[in-house]
Structure 1
Amino acid sequence: MRGILQPVATGIVAAVTGFASSFVLVLAGLRAVGATDAQAASGLLALCVLVGAVCIALPWYFKVPISFAWSTPGAALLVAAGAVTDDFGAAIGAFLVCGALIVLSGLWPALSRAITSIPKPLAGAMLAGILFPICLAPITAAIEQPVLAIPVILVWLVLYRVAPSWAVPAAMVAAGIGIAVTAGTDWATAPTAAPALVFTAPVFDPLVIVSLGLPLFVVTMAGQNVPGFAVMTTFGYQVPPRPVLLTSGLATVVGSAFGAHGINLAAITAALMASPEAHRDPAKRWIATVSSGVGYLILGLCAGLAAALVAASPPVLIVAVAGLALLGALVSSLTGALEEPRHRITAIATFLVTASGISVLGIGSAFWGLVVGGIVMLWLGWGRTRRQAV
């Protein structure tokens, strides 16, 4: 019995940590692209249900701790792409296209290799440019809402020193207490507090697909799936790419109509459930992933309540909590982008264009960041290989 309790407990901790550390970002992202409170709550519920389902199905079948999560970089992209569209139907169309491309990656390995072979300076700098404006939010909130924001930042700072994995959940609890004190408890009885799926018909707007759907696909593959496979390899597990990509892509396609923006391999929580912390015997660690799937299904019942809390909050405070959660990802992406001295100008160009938030021809800055970075990389590298050979 003790051998079973350890992976079960690990899976529950992973589910709670994964949910608490990024649900605010998901809700903020969905609202940024035009979702109502009910649609945002539906998106979070759909993500919880689908993540829970695939976390149960694949590990049970393969007896390997394959863990899934929603796309956190993708949610950050939604926040950054808020200026691109306020038509949630068009955003739904972009989510569906992203899911279809993930399915295609599973069926056509060449596409997967092409996306994952995007130069590291470009991929890292684009992600950093997406995260940068969000990570500025704690500073803005401290000025605009000091009574609410400063205690949240202090709680995060203290917990990050003594228990880093609980820093963001604790900051969210502090924000919730502040909201309850200032806004009362009426949000808990709001109509959206009860979990419910809301169908939204997709609208296929070419500009939104290019500026949101394609970057969402790129950051999901490069920012989540590739690290997810790497984490599993680190712990000695060979995960078959095709069933993983097909399953997560189909789940995204199905969930998109209800507001789910993207499902992919987990990375951080995967390291917890694939490590000896889950179980000494590697053959029994899959139980932790199944346990986390059950945890996500239960947490889905809280999606409506979470959305109601976010709706009652000052928007800058919610984005500030998300910004605290993404500081580590910003550091990692910038470090990776600037690692090679010869590509630093390319990385900075990509970062600046993406972080600028510009929209040209109706297409958002994430796409143009990759385009500009690619052009700069080709120009600065043109002829260099030949000269070195000579």
Structure 2
Amino acid sequence: MTSTALPRPPIKGSRTQPIVAGLVTSLVGYTSSFAVVLTGLKAVGASDAQAASGLFALTIAMAICAVGLAWFTKRPITIAWSTPGAALLAGAAAVNFGWSEAVGAFIMTGVLIAATGAIPWLGRLLAAIPVSLAQAMLAGVLLQLCLAPFVALSTIPVYVAPVIVVWLIFLRLSPRWAVPAAMAAALGIAGFAMGQAGTTFLVGELLPTLHVTAPVFSLEAFMAITLPLFVVTMASQNVPGVAVLASFGYKTPWRASMISTGIGSSVAALFGGHAINLAAISAALAAGHEAGEDRSRRWIAAVSSGIFYILLGLASTAITALASASPTGLLEAAAGLALLGTLGAAASSALSDPTSRMSSLVAFLIAGSGLSFAGIGGAFWALLAGLAVRFVIERKRH
């Protein structure tokens, strides 16, 4: 007597869930941090057109890498721009070099990211930098930017207060959408202010355009931007991104991911983009249950997110124009709200280990002080000072 196995019932929503998850991933990733990227690029010398070009170039690079990696590996590997890196740029406004040198530094950052995948010893060297120090440096860099929304309450309260209220309401009702909702409120207020001022734009002026910048390479820019941007991107984005995917049972192809995102970063840099990397927080949206119960099809969510990123990138020039026409301080305030969670996580990680707390504290304070010495911003000196304190004082304790 033989028995025939009953056919397995189809998983509900398996056809559409990965696509919807990809849409949510791209929407959350883009809307929650585009203001941070614009603030960072402008801080190191980009004009409105160059910042819009950088934003557009990053979305294209993210899309190509996400679609390529997910398609060939059949894993839900999503890509994002380096939000902590953009925040680091926002704190580098005091450096004594121009936009062309910043672009050269972005290109070198991409080279280092790619080299991490191609050269094993470089990865081991990076791993030797204590995570607590990298997080302390990031927390210090974020401090001033995260103070912006509350400082702005005293200068432009009528504009900033509604944004904070929207953020708090969504933080209570739907935390995932709190920052995107605050960003939408900020853009709405900017549009209202632009209308009150009678500012208008021709349709042609709002179309996405890529502007090539001839890079200039300098030691100052390498130390002030490349090294801190590389360390922050790796420690705060790529390493956590691998961990997030692992938590859902997926192994990240490290070599392929680093080489592709490194090359993508360098190419995008020619058009003003700073760096792309593995998605960390938003990675869970494409790799988790929201992308469907069928784990073998969740890679479609990553491909979907890449396609939607291109569509969002088409609005880069319009969004930049709207942000530029907003009341002074509004964009920075929205960016500060977007980074509060990152600041909390970085500070907690930096100070959690009592045996390395002093070096982390020194790095945090120097990075947050706005120090600029020899034309190099505080992020580099924070990392250097933290390593020195760790070597001289804390090494004996281990």
- Superposition deviation, residue 181 in structure 1: 2.1
Q: What is the CA–CA distance in structure 1 between the aligned matches of 2:208 and 2:269, rounded to whole Å?
A: 17
Once the two structures are superposed, what CA deviation does each residue of 1:2-24 show, in whole Å capped at 9, x if it has no partner? 32201100100110110000011
2:373 matched to which residue of 1? 360
Mark the runs of 5 or more structure 1 residues left unpaired by the alignment.
386-390
Any idea what SS the aligned residue of 1:383 has? helix
Q: What is the CA–CA distance in structure 2 between the aligned matches of 1:187 and 1:232, rounded to whole Å?
A: 45
User: In the TM superposition, what are the counterparts of 1:96-175 in structure 2 within 5 Å?
Assistant: 96-175=107-186
Q: What is the CA–CA distance in structure 1 between the aligned matches of 2:185 and 2:24, rounded to whole Å?
A: 20
Amino acid aligned to 1:210: M
Larger helix share, 1 or 2: 1
- From 259, 283, 308, the equivalent of 2:321 is 308
Any idea what SS the aligned residue of 1:261 has? coil
1:2 matched to which residue of 2? 13
Q: Is 1:223 aligned to residue 236 of structure 2?
A: yes
- Superposition deviation, residue 117 in structure 1: 3.2
Any idea what SS the aligned residue of 1:198 has? coil
Any idea what SS the aligned residue of 1:76 has? helix
Q: Which runs of 4+ in 1 moved over 4 A?
A: none
Once the two structures are superposed, what CA deviation does each residue of 1:339-370 show, in whole Å capped at 9, x if it has no partner? 11122221111100010111111111000001
Quick check: 1:187–1:312 contact (8 Å CA) kept in 2?
no
Q: What is the CA–CA distance in structure 1 between the aligned matches of 2:34 and 2:131, rounded to whole Å?
A: 27
User: In the TM superposition, what are the counterparts of 1:188-227 in structure 2 within 5 Å?
Assistant: 188-189=201-202, 192-227=205-240
Quick check: 2:62–2:276 contact (8 Å CA) kept in 1?
yes
2:299 matched to which residue of 1? 286
User: In the TM superposition, what are the counterparts of 1:76-91 in structure 2 within 5 Å?
Assistant: 76-85=87-96, 87-91=98-102
Q: What is the CA–CA distance in structure 1 between the aligned matches of 2:157 and 2:202, rounded to whole Å?
A: 27
Q: What is the CA–CA distance in structure 2 between the aligned matches of 1:155 and 1:188, rounded to whole Å?
A: 28
Amino acid aligned to 1:134: L
TM value normalised by structure 1: 0.96
Q: Is 1:46 aligned to residue 19 of structure 2?
A: no
Quick check: 1:116–1:221 contact (8 Å CA) kept in 2?
no
- Superposition deviation, residue 183 in structure 1: 2.1
Amino acid aligned to 2:157: P
- Superposition deviation, residue 87 in structure 1: 1.1
- Superposition deviation, residue 171 in structure 1: 0.9
2:6 matched to which residue of 1? none
Q: Is 1:370 aligned to residue 383 of structure 2?
A: yes
Q: Using the TM superposition, name which of 85-94 and 304-313 deviates more.
A: 85-94
Q: What is the CA–CA distance in structure 2 between the aligned matches of 1:24 and 1:62, rounded to whole Å?
A: 32
Q: What is the CA–CA distance in structure 1 between the aligned matches of 2:88 and 2:203, rounded to whole Å?
A: 28
Identity %: 47
Any idea what SS the aligned residue of 2:93 has? helix
Any idea what SS the aligned residue of 2:16 has? helix
1:37 matched to which residue of 2? 48
Q: What is the CA–CA distance in structure 2 between the aligned matches of 1:67 and 1:200, rounded to whole Å?
A: 28
Taking structure 1 as reference, are residues 309 and 340 closer, same or farther at Cα in structure 2, changes over 3 Å only?
A: same
2:332 matched to which residue of 1? 319
Quick check: 1:49–1:296 contact (8 Å CA) kept in 2?
yes
Any idea what SS the aligned residue of 2:282 has? helix
* Greater radius of gyration (CA): 2
Quick check: 1:37–1:192 contact (8 Å CA) kept in 2?
no
Amino acid aligned to 1:12: L
Q: What is the CA–CA distance in structure 2 between the aligned matches of 1:384 and 1:48, rounded to whole Å?
A: 45
Q: Using the TM superposition, name which of 188-197 and 227-236 deviates more.
A: 188-197
Once the two structures are superposed, what CA deviation does each residue of 1:108-127 show, in whole Å capped at 9, x if it has no partner? 02212221331122111001
2:8 matched to which residue of 1? none
Q: What is the CA–CA distance in structure 2 between the aligned matches of 1:320 and 1:127, rounded to whole Å?
A: 18
Any idea what SS the aligned residue of 1:186 has? coil
1:257 matched to which residue of 2? 270
1:178 matched to which residue of 2? 189
- Superposition deviation, residue 85 in structure 1: 4.1
Q: What is the CA–CA distance in structure 2 between the aligned matches of 1:239 and 1:384, rounded to whole Å?
A: 35
Q: What is the CA–CA distance in structure 1 between the aligned matches of 2:120 and 2:291, rounded to whole Å?
A: 32
2:24 matched to which residue of 1? 13
Mark the runs of 5 or more structure 2 residues left unpaired by the alignment.
1-11
Any idea what SS the aligned residue of 2:212 has? coil
- The number of residue pairs the alignment matches comes to 385
- Superposition deviation, residue 169 in structure 1: 1.2
Q: What is the CA–CA distance in structure 2 between the aligned matches of 1:349 and 1:54, rounded to whole Å?
A: 37
Taking structure 1 as reference, are residues 244 and 314 closer, same or farther at Cα in structure 2, changes over 3 Å only?
A: same
- Superposition deviation, residue 219 in structure 1: 0.5
Taking structure 1 as reference, are residues 81 and 5 closer, same or farther at Cα in structure 2, changes over 3 Å only?
A: same
Q: What is the CA–CA distance in structure 2 between the aligned matches of 1:191 and 1:207, rounded to whole Å?
A: 38
Q: What is the CA–CA distance in structure 2 between the aligned matches of 1:344 and 1:228, rounded to whole Å?
A: 25
Quick check: 1:350–1:370 contact (8 Å CA) kept in 2?
yes
